[in-house]
Structure 1
């Protein structure tokens, strides 16, 4: 049976177990007659799961439901400028609230389709987001009048069918008798499988009453149990391989270690065994980058030479939560053969060429750690390169990419959330060692331009709840133009992020991929230091803007205690060379360009193209 089939079967078993628990609760509860609106039931479930913010845009098919949201004392409505940004914000919120979920509410058709790009990105990167869609009443869906926001041809299920491509589970609530069970089912799938789910809430059904007793049975947030016999056999095989490798094993951590909640288990594995640990780009800050056994970021052929040598020469690699996308692997230049690899995932385990569907890493890791602890005396003898990125000495005042990122590294603190746009920012940040307790947020697989602005809004709100001190955004001038409106929501919400805008006159990552001097990679140059004031701030009071064009100006600002304290929302425009980029990005772009196989030479004058 395939891994996907096993995961689906486990989900069905979990759902049945939950339903049995609710039946027992109903039989034992003396208050089974208490009633609650379906819309209220949904909000209460979200509050139980730790959701305190809901993102989205109001529309006539969700307004009644939003009354329940606004009236609840423990959840806040964060109105966004558009649905795409709302989806990005829900994504950023969920990433910071590890183990929780983000929620976006839109209206039928025009609203939900605008959010689709954001939901697809969350799906690709394993981010749990609930998409609630206010839809026409159950009678309208049955009779199919030509309502606004429809396609005009009676296909009321068209958007539902489209949404299923980007959701791990979906439900069209069409009966009050099954509504609560369906809500519980999709929420369970969202949390346990860490991917988006889609929920249609008809206008009339939101205001129908159902028994409230189900709320006394908590949503199961734990992954399925592993088959004990298969798990024991797999641990035996892993142990044998490590013994055969004479304990020369390394650990490589990736994105799904974060998304599927095993950061603590990985930390315990490293602490008790002493094996060297590295991370992939999408796994950055999945492990404490100041820990003595942490060696840095492995990105295939574009890795730092010493890191590349240590990873690729290891006799055995314990890979945890891998997502082997092009930008995450140096354009698929990982040199880690299957014969030397053990892969742990949320819903499967691979030991060399054998796959064990249904053996999830969350329950496996503690048992594996206990088994491997005796290897600690020899494992700690394996050398680990020191992960550091010193500021280079450059005899000029230009803010170069090679200078900027290590200098920013000196500015970072514990309990910072750093959000980096795909491109120069994310590639530049990879080599920067983060302080203990800092978090890196980036969208390396989906790579939707402008994602970081909405994600910063969600990340900052989640960071407030969790005690993070600062939220810092690094974004290019081209990227921020797509989603800049959300700065106004940050101001309205009283958030105080520090926003570094890299003004390099266009799309630098695209220039390196193709068309270095083409005008399609150019953009309009905005008056960046006027943005915050225009979008609702009061310059000098509620917001502050800066423009730096030299190393000295930048360093002076970074060393300013008032600036660093982040007491108000701040924007820094950094003037940079449009043809400069981090070395890792240059190497990645070169590899990607070869893969894309653009025509290298145009036909000469007078010749025709074949």
Structure 2
């Protein structure tokens, strides 16, 4: 018998979702039965709902879509930080919330996991207040609501929430609906917006020394090849932002660095300052990705096009249709710019070649070593703080996926995101750089990694506390200190056998280089490298940003 649950899962499978994350609860168990009975989809249970949301975010960044399941009330509220981060960072994730039966809700019964007032839409309203698209399934609207919510996620690259009453999980449905799933996702990008595209195009054509700054929307909407073509065909210098590193191949001759306001290199800033047109494609400006709002370009020479609107020399124009952004970028990518000065740009990589010594490790040496360690085909995940800002200085090889969360900046995100990204791209090597303070928040998902035989390489930057907070305020205060763990035994505590993982404890430059060489030569397995650093050591760009944020907080 074909059911509503089967239809929802068939839509997800059509979108290449082959792993469903989440936590079981009595209101979603019947739905989970439909997952576990399939041979083309796998249930991957998490330790808690927040981690499931983080993991789904990582999965979606690799796969283009992800889904996770929670239970009503206690489960969805636990996950709300994670799915809100997906909204801010523009990640297409669907949360499926198993809720009490329709009859129970209609009769306003006092049920567990509710507020005990007979009202069952409180938590849905919380999601709505955060700007998250929601849908509530009934026996009369189930197919149309599923279609509407998932189309929204696909078209907008934003998360959504689907409330699924328990009695509908086994509700019969005509299997004809399965046959028409492909029609839901036909390309309908022939749409328009308030400003004439030709006006924008003419301004770009007139530019003599343009600079492109690439943002995360380019990757989210699958437009990397189009923008790369525009850059190469017209020899336009380009920068990326922290969250969009690797969206366009940083090994291209036209790459001028990762832009972060005045925290950027002098060479990068000078090129942008001298541009007659700064073309922002898919960017969203936050304090953490633009040096505390100290960008050097201005509204008079900037055209800013992202998935929400076009900022045309400080005049804001919204789109009439969801897919207008795609159409605009595709039109721009076809341009041949006759007026561009094709002066060759040479990127100056400030990261020096490593020459290890038998001396204590520093952040700078770690960054230099990671420049050599990261290779083409890797997925690199970084947690907010020293890892994000330090590794933003690395010039990535071609075909590297770089995952971070600078806008929402929820510490603890990166470890579950790493474990979510690996099943979505199993042929890629997965590398995580995370502080020990961040790892403490979500370390229980080590059990998930071991149960699912995942093999990330985890560099734990251990400086005995929250360095990103220290550089903002309280360098020596005890509230920025964290407990010290024995990482050598953590995998075994979560069920790993001794031959299932590798552990390195490195304190010197020579030890780090030796560990990296051994990892590259060894068979892939779960690997932990504890990188011991001084308590007050931080990347220079993070220290500068810390000073800026400290002043803004006063």
Given the two structures, how large is their TM-score scaled by the length of structure 2? 0.96
The residue aligned with 1:578 is 535
TM-superposed CA distance for 1:105, in Å, is 0.1
Contact 1:321 1:344 survives alignment (8 Å): yes
DSSP 3-state at the match of 2:140: helix
From 343, 356, 380, the counterpart of 2:342 = 380
Q: Indicate whether 1:368 and 2:332 are aligned.
A: yes
Q: 1:396 to 1:313 in 2, by over 3 A?
A: farther
The answer to whether 1:271 aligns with 2:237 is: no
Indicate the structure (1 or 2) with the bigger Cα radius of gyration: 1
Q: Is 1:150 matched up with 2:114?
A: yes
Aligned-partner Cα distance in 2 for 1:520–1:160: 35
**CA distance 1:91–1:167, shift in 2 (3 Å):** farther
Aligned 1:367-516 pairs, distance under 5 A: 367-375=331-339, 378-381=340-343, 383-387=345-349, 389-391=351-353, 397-464=359-426, 467-468=427-428, 470-516=429-475
Where in structure 1 are there 5+ consecutive unaligned residues?
Answer: 1-34, 598-610
Q: CA deviation at 1:269?
A: 1.0
Q: Is the 8 A contact 1:315 1:340 kept in 2?
A: yes
Q: 1:211-267 deviations in whole A, cap 9, x for unaligned?
A: 222222222264642328x67x43344324542x4x110100012212222111111
Deviation at 1:209, TM superposition (A): 1.0
- Whether the 8 Å CA contact 2:7–2:177 is kept in 1: the answer is no
Which residues of structure 2 form unaligned runs of 5+?
Answer: none
Q: Do residues 313 (structure 1) and 274 (structure 2) align?
A: yes
Instruction: Note closer, same or farther for the CA distance 1:317–1:565 as it changes in structure 2 (3 Å cut).
Output: farther
Equivalent residue in structure 1 for 2:54, among 65, 88, 92: 88
| C-alpha spacing 1:40/1:164, structure 2 compared with 1 (3 Å) | same
Residues 546 and 396 (structure 1 numbering): CA distance in 2 closer, same or farther, change over 3 Å?
closer
Equivalent position to 2:484, from 498, 504, 525? 525
1:600 corresponds to: none
1:372 deviates by 3.1
Q: Which residue in the other structure is 1:589 paired with? A: 546
Provide the rounded CA distance (Å) in 1 between the counterparts of 2:372 and 2:132: 41
C-alpha contact (below 8 Å) 1:502/1:575 kept by paired residues: yes
1:183 correspondence with 2:141: no
Q: Deviations over 1:73-131 (max 9, x none)?
A: 1111110011010000000000111xx21111001111111000000100110001100
DSSP 3-state at the match of 1:177? coil
Rounded to whole Å, the distance in 2 between the matches of 1:51 and 1:427 is 31
Hey, what's the Cα distance between the residues in 2 that align with 1:241 and 1:184? 38
Aligned equivalents of 1:297 and 1:425: distance in 2?
15
* Cα distance between partner residues in 2 of 1:221 and 1:349: 25
* 1:247-326 → structure 2 map (5 Å cutoff): 247-326=208-287
Matching residue of 1:351? 312
CA distance in 1, matches of 2:188, 2:553: 39
Correspondent of 1:205 among 149, 168, 181: 168
Structure 1 vs Structure 2 CA RMSD: 1.8
In structure 1, distance between residues paired with 2:341 and 2:3 = 58
Cα gap change, 1:487/1:295 in structure 2, threshold over 3 Å: closer, same or farther?
same
Alignment of 1:62-81 (within 5 A): 62-81=28-47
When the two structures are superposed, what TM-score results if normalisation uses the length of structure 1?
A: 0.87
**2:253–2:347 CA contact under 8 A, matched in 1:** no
Q: Per-residue deviation at 1:50?
A: 0.8
Tell me which of 545, 564, 577 is aligned to 2:503: 545
